Amino acid sequence: MGEDVIYSAGADEHGSKIYEKALEANQKPEEYIEKIVPVIKDSHALIGSEYTHFSRTNSKQHQEVATLLWKQMGEDIYKSKYSGWYCVGCEEFKTETEVKENNETCPDHNQAYQKIEEENYFFKLSKYQKQLEDLIESNEFEVVPGNRRKEILNVIKGGLVDLSISRPKKKLPWGIAVPGDSTQVMYVWFEALINYISLLGYPDGDEFKRFWPTNLQIVGKDNLRFHAAIYPAMLLSAKLPLLKRLFVHGHLTSGGKKMSKTIGNIVTTEQIVEKYGSDAFRYYFLRHVPSYDDGDFTWERFDAVYHGELANELGNGVQRVASMINRYQQGVIGTFENSGHDTSLYHEAVNSQQFDKALDWVWELVKSLNVYLEEQKPWQLAKEADQSHLQEVLASCVGDIMQIAELLTPFLPNTAATIQKIFKDGYVHNYSGVLFPRIEK
């Protein structure tokens, strides 16, 4: 949309999980994270995901800002005894009820909860309960979609208890030191949430002044409590404006089941991209996984979508038009304009993070291109030597295709660029490849 943006990805590098993994690998945590970060960056590159900033919580800048924020929140931080449960996989303190319900084992990590008894620093989360409730209810702080908004409101109304935000260094030496107390390190989640301001150069960096508060943050539904309650409360405590919107996406299953080694249904990004390409990957997960809900992957369904929608509907439609212009008009399109179909529904969908709906809308154009071809029968017009009508019909098809390409740019960047190249400057250009070639199962 032509706007200047910061889009940040990142890695949170502290906490028990990283520390234990590093020990297992016989490495220092500092060494271990240097191996993890490239893996995260590669996974972005693999699907053509670009970012302007990559935030690392072990960076000096982040550590300084986390220390500063801790001091700024000083009034709301106190020391007390913590007695309760912790899951290293979740990096989260658990309530007695939750632990009992799950028979003392975290269902997400198949790991027994640890009983913890220690002196920690606490953040007065309870103090912000009413304020958070009002901010979310008034949509001053938007939580999208509505069912997640409702879920977090229920959590908040059910009562927020103060949060332990540090661990004894004796038990966990890997983390950012608590200012003024060298025996404690900050709880990983507490400081990781601060990365959103540290990456902008808080407190006086130009980017912070220009881009804060952020318009949109995207998290998985397992992160709801951290991002929709704890994080905004921290910002309130530090007297900073809140993010404007939090978009919470669902989770993926594979063949209707949670991906797991035991079931053997784990599918990796590499496997899919290697076989079908990154645009097909993006298409499937943006259109066929509902943006506001959980979604499922199977190789069969992916293959059907690839061949049915991408190869047949889009790829064939484009190639039929290009080859008819080559055959009947020696590659000359003549003058044409991008079709000006009203795109307000598309923009509405994008602006509300309903990417599936946006692609549904683009696909209406793709389908009507194919319907138009069948109705107008350019091959018939060519036989009848109705040259001017033929040229008009094909030029109108190109206009549609170019608008489709423009709208697909954020979703299928490679495909959009290829289409724009084929029909550039009023001619059909030689294009040797095939859009979405058939792939053997």
Helix 387-408 crosses helix 317-329 at what angle (to 10 degrees)? 150
Please say whether the beta carbons of 151 and 250 come within 8 A: no
Buried b (16+ CB within 10 A) or exposed e, 18-40: bbebbeeeeeebeebbeeeeeee
Residues 6+ apart with CB under 8 A from 293: 145, 250
Whichever of 222 and 293 has its CB closer to Zn ion, that residue is: 222
Whichever of 83 and 105 has its CB closer to Zn ion, that residue is: 105
- Applying CB under 5 A, the site for Zn ion has a residue count of 6
Stretch that binds Zn ion, among 15-23, 79-87, 244-252, 407-415 (CB under 5 A): 79-87
Nearest residue to 167 (alpha-carbon basis) of 69, 94, 79, 97:
79
Whichever of 101 and 108 has its CB closer to Zn ion, that residue is: 108
Among 18, 65, 87, 163, binds Zn ion (CB under 5 A): 87
Among 84, 89, 168, 410, binds Zn ion (CB under 5 A): 89
- Least separation, in Å, of the C-beta of 231 and Zn ion? 20
- Least separation, in Å, of the C-beta of 102 and Zn ion? 9
Three-state secondary-structure class, residue 184:
strand
Whichever of 101 and 364 has its CB closer to Zn ion, that residue is: 101
Residues in 93-122 at the binding interface with Zn ion, rule: CB under 5 A:
106, 108-109
Residues in 336-395 at the binding interface with Zn ion, rule: CB under 5 A:
none
CA distance 253 to 257: 5
- Least separation, in Å, of the C-beta of 95 and Zn ion? 13
- Least separation, in Å, of the C-beta of 287 and Zn ion? 31
- Least separation, in Å, of the C-beta of 299 and Zn ion? 29
Interface with Zn ion includes 188 (CB under 5 A)?
no
Among 90, 112, 153, 155, binds Zn ion (CB under 5 A): 90
DSSP letter for each residue of 401-420: HHHHHHHHTTTSHHHHHHHH
- Least separation, in Å, of the C-beta of 108 and Zn ion? 4
Whichever of 94 and 245 has its CB closer to Zn ion, that residue is: 94
- Least separation, in Å, of the C-beta of 19 and Zn ion? 16
Three-state secondary-structure class, residue 228:
helix
Whichever of 108 and 296 has its CB closer to Zn ion, that residue is: 108
Whichever of 90 and 305 has its CB closer to Zn ion, that residue is: 90
- Least separation, in Å, of the C-beta of 435 and Zn ion? 43
Whichever of 104 and 108 has its CB closer to Zn ion, that residue is: 108
Residues 6+ apart with CB under 8 A from 388: none
- Pairing, β 8-11 against β 53-56: parallel
Stretch that binds Zn ion, among 3-11, 80-88, 174-182, 405-413 (CB under 5 A): 80-88
CA distance 389 to 97: 73
CA distance 107 to 398: 53
**Residue 236 in tokens:** 């309130």
Whichever of 89 and 201 has its CB closer to Zn ion, that residue is: 89
Stretch that binds Zn ion, among 88-96, 166-174, 255-263, 369-377 (CB under 5 A): 88-96
- Least separation, in Å, of the C-beta of 87 and Zn ion? 3
Residues in 284-323 at the binding interface with Zn ion, rule: CB under 5 A:
none
**Residue 86 in tokens:** 């912790």
Whichever of 87 and 395 has its CB closer to Zn ion, that residue is: 87
- Least separation, in Å, of the C-beta of 109 and Zn ion? 4
Whichever of 33 and 99 has its CB closer to Zn ion, that residue is: 99
Please say whether the beta carbons of 74 and 91 come within 8 A: no
- Least separation, in Å, of the C-beta of 83 and Zn ion? 19
DSSP letter for each residue of 338-385: ------HHHHHHHHTT-HHHHHHHHHHHHHHHHHHHHHH-HHHHHHTT
Binding mask 30-69 for Zn ion (x = CB under 5 A): ----------------------------------------
Long-range contacts of 327-332 (CB under 8 A, 24+ apart): 327/382, 328/378, 328/382, 328/390, 328/394, 329/390, 329/391, 329/394, 331/427, 331/428, 331/429, 332/426, 332/427
Rounded to whole angstroms, what are the CA distances from 75 to 78, 122, 338?
8, 11, 59
Query: Quick one: DSSP state of residue 294?
Result: -
Nearest residue to 186 (alpha-carbon basis) of 200, 198, 195, 173:
173
- Least separation, in Å, of the C-beta of 111 and Zn ion? 6
Phi, psi of 354 (to 5 degrees): -100, 75
Residues that bind Zn ion (CB under 5 A): 87, 89-90, 106, 108-109
